[in-house]
Structure 1
């Protein structure tokens, strides 16, 4: 069964804007039908995402690693 889309096609959003949406994270992730979404959902079972910083760091990491793997690049990360 097709479900109604919750994101507007062609409307760009920044990463943090996804967390301002009035939808459950699972519903937002369901909008993106790809292997990475399944990996993010699997990882979410093991971490409590209690604030925006935690959500951002936990959810963006698999994306960065996937891009690094696809482009055979190295990630340099630091915090101030």
Structure 2
């Protein structure tokens, strides 16, 4: 049964609002969903300044209620991705517009691209399951761009909890990690992975 109307307009946000399961929505784009423990790249570099960043997060968290998506993005997501952008010396794009078709269009919360890899991050206030659906559709859109790599990495986050996904163009599969990373506790691990993907 078709979910999407071919002549309708959908933004990436629309997929967050659909009540269908992730695998059903991805099937509309001829992709399948596989949930498993992902072996994510990690940098072997010594990363400096992470203990200060962790301390800053721990210092600010008691004083900022994380009740909105904006609060989560500004307090938890942006500092982490800004750090990754500085370490990798890559541009961090925020609210980055993408339009592939009427079914695949909208703004990406965060995008960092290196020569051979990219990471898209979708920040949500709460629902990680639907957030992952939106992230997966964003990755499908990016995979259709001319210079897209064969594997695209993404993460959906509610700020303090991050879940990774990988889109593999060849097998038309999106892999969702069954594990997750938390902030501030897993900060070093999280940044090591994000840097490892971009290296």
What TM-score do the two structures reach when normalised by structure 1? 0.48
Question: Counting strand residues as a fraction of each chain, which structure ranks higher?
Answer: 2
Which is higher, the Rg of structure 1 or of structure 2?
2
Determine which structure has greater relative contact order: mean sequence separation of CA pairs < 8 Å that are 6+ residues apart, divided by chain length. Answer: 2
Q: Which of the two has greater helix per residue?
A: 1
